[in-house]
Amino acid sequence: MIMMAYTPWFYIFRKGIRHLLNYTKDTYNDPVIYITKNGVDNANNESQSIKDALKDEFRIDYYRKHMWNALGSLKDYNVNVKGCLAWSYMDNYEWNIGYT
């Protein structure tokens, strides 16, 4: 089973991914789960230096907390999570201007 586990609500409520994984296990007879297209966007800050932008604490915090909650589902509830794929830099092109 492939599922998309990101929406703005899940970012606001970081435990949402854990609830979603547990719900999916219970509702769909414990399927194999791959979390696909997981990520968060951040507004471009033109005044920020390259050095500061590369620290990217906003995205690091997002992944750390989401993965911690996904690990909680795997460890505490035996959800059959087999992988998680993060957004790449190229994923944002399709939203803004397509592939033109």
8 Å CB contact between 81 and 21: yes
Average pLDDT over residues 34-52: 81
* In the predicted structure, residue 6 carries a pLDDT above the cut 80: no
Does residue 24 or residue 3 have the better pLDDT?
A: 24
Give the span between the Cα atoms of 62 and 85, in whole angstroms: 14
Q: What is the per-residue pLDDT for 50? A: 86
How large a percentage of the chain has pLDDT more than 90? 33
Query: 33-42, 49-58, 78-87: which has the highest mean pLDDT?
Result: 78-87
In this prediction, residue 56 has a pLDDT band, given cuts at 50, 70 and 90, of confident
Q: Please, where are the H alpha helices in the chain?
A: 8-12, 16-27, 50-55, 57-77, 93-96
Q: State which amino acid sits at residue 65.
A: K
Q: What is the per-residue pLDDT for 93? A: 67
Does residue 100 or residue 63 have the better pLDDT?
A: 63
Sign of CA dihedral 59, 65, 67, 70: negative
